[in-house]
Amino acid sequence: MTNSQKKLPFTQLMVSIVPKKPGIYTLWNQKGQIIYIGSADKPNCLYEELMHHFDDEHSTSIDGIYDFQVEVCNNPERQQIQHLENHKKDHGYLPDYNEKLLIPDLRGK
């Protein structure tokens, strides 16, 4: 997503059209910065994982999410790691919530 693209609100209605398949998803903040790259590896998981962000208990609640993108794939964990490695290579850091929650091996690379 670039700043010139129209940002869509993160709503349950938008999530309702997400494929009920395994894959990865990317969350952006209002400034157009990636804040989280997540994976969902079980059937129905993309939909279910994104719906969990509407729970107050989730670390990346809807307060910080302004837009999202999903990618259906057969190996979500590997694809997530690849996207995180690419993000770190391109930007020099991991997305905020991935830095706090995820994959210690990527922090040191």
The CA-based dihedral angle spanning residues 84, 4, 15, 13, taken in that order and rounded to the nearest 10 degrees: 160
* Cα–Cα distance, 12 to 100 (Å, whole number): 25
Coil, strand or helix at 26? strand
Whole-model pTM? Answer: 0.80
* Cα–Cα distance, 33 to 70 (Å, whole number): 16
**Running DSSP on this structure, what letter comes out for residue 63?**
G
* Cα–Cα distance, 73 to 23 (Å, whole number): 5
Q: Which domains does the chain have, with CATH numbers?
A: 12-108 (3.40.1440.10)
At 44-103, the pLDDT tens digits run 689 988 888 777 665 555 667 888 899 999 999 999 999 999 999 999 999 988 887 655
